[in-house]
Amino acid sequence: MVLLSLLIGLAVWWLLSTIPSVGSILSNPVTLLKSFMSELQSGRLWSNIYASIFRVLGGFSLGLLAAIPVAFLMGWYPTVRALIEPWIQFFRTIPPIALIPLVIVAFGIGEGAKISVIFVATFLVMVISIYQGVRNVDPTLIKAARVLGATDKDIFLEVVVPASFPYILVGVRLGLASAWTTLVAAELTGASKGLGNMIMEAGLYFRMDLVILGIIIIGVIGFAMDKGVLYLERKLTGWQELRKS
């Protein structure tokens, strides 16, 4: 089915590119393949891909490391939740691109600025998902642990954390998607390399083939990462499916 979907997509793409008003914007697959090979042979494409993956994984990793403890504290302690949740909800409504002037002043135009923008976007997405996981832990599991004499520490480490793990993986998926969608905005902070920078520069010179190429590569890498997390989810959370059945 995946192959069939791909073939249908390519056929629709080809047909649309034959329409004069659309073809000037949407390059056909053959033109795109030639551009891909040219960029690949020149080495520019690899350097752009590497730069973008480095920024995405850097911002995402920092976001995950911050989101997990904050989310668990919010879910476990009502006082912490009351203090932090309003601020998280407030910043969630602000698009990351609006933070760029502040980020440039604070971090300059180096890698720190780009990673910071991605960090903010991924943290806000993941902390909400993981927090919901902590809040949705089955109360029966907690009551059973208390009956067996478990302490609060035991309940947290042996019940809450494992039961919340699927939500952590959902947060990882959402965080990776957010990281890639924020990439272009992050590379507005003066990047000389990166897929977002490649798209913006190509747009200035009306190289629509390179614009589409950059978009497709971002989509392919993001899709592959998402499938990788889904695979881990199936391998690591099979025990929950057994418990539900």
Tokens 């969630």 locate to 92
Single out the residue of 205, 227, 198 nearest to residue 52, CA to CA.
198
- pLDDT of 43 reads 82
Q: Which element (helix H / strand E) includes 202? A: helix 195-204
What tokens appear for 146 in the block? 């208390």
Tokens in use for 69? 């403890």
Q: Where are the domains of the chain?
A: 47-234
pLDDT of residue 2: 67
Distance separating alpha carbons of residues 130 and 172, to the nearest angstrom:
9
Average pLDDT over residues 64-71: 92
Please state the rounded mean pLDDT for residues 239-244: 51
- Could you please report the per-residue DSSP string of 42-83? HTHHHHHHHHHHHHHHHHHHHHHHHHHHHHHHHHH-HHHHHH
Chain segment 141-162, per-residue pLDDT in tens:
777 777 777 777 777 777 777 8
Among 162, 155, 134, 131, residue whose Cα is nearest residue 243 = 162
**Amino acid 19: pLDDT:** 78
Say if CB 72 and CB 135 are below 8 A apart: no
Nearest to 124 by CA among 100, 75, 90: 90
Q: What is the mean pLDDT of the chain?
A: 84
What is the second-level CATH architecture of the domain 47-234? Orthogonal Bundle (1.10)
Per-range mean pLDDT, top range of 148-152, 165-169, 235-239: 165-169
Which among 112, 122, 128, 126 is positioned nearest to 60, based on CA atoms? 122
Q: What does DSSP assign to residue 237?
A: S
Region 58-78 average pLDDT: 90
Contacts of 68 (CB under 8 A, 6+ apart): 126, 130, 168
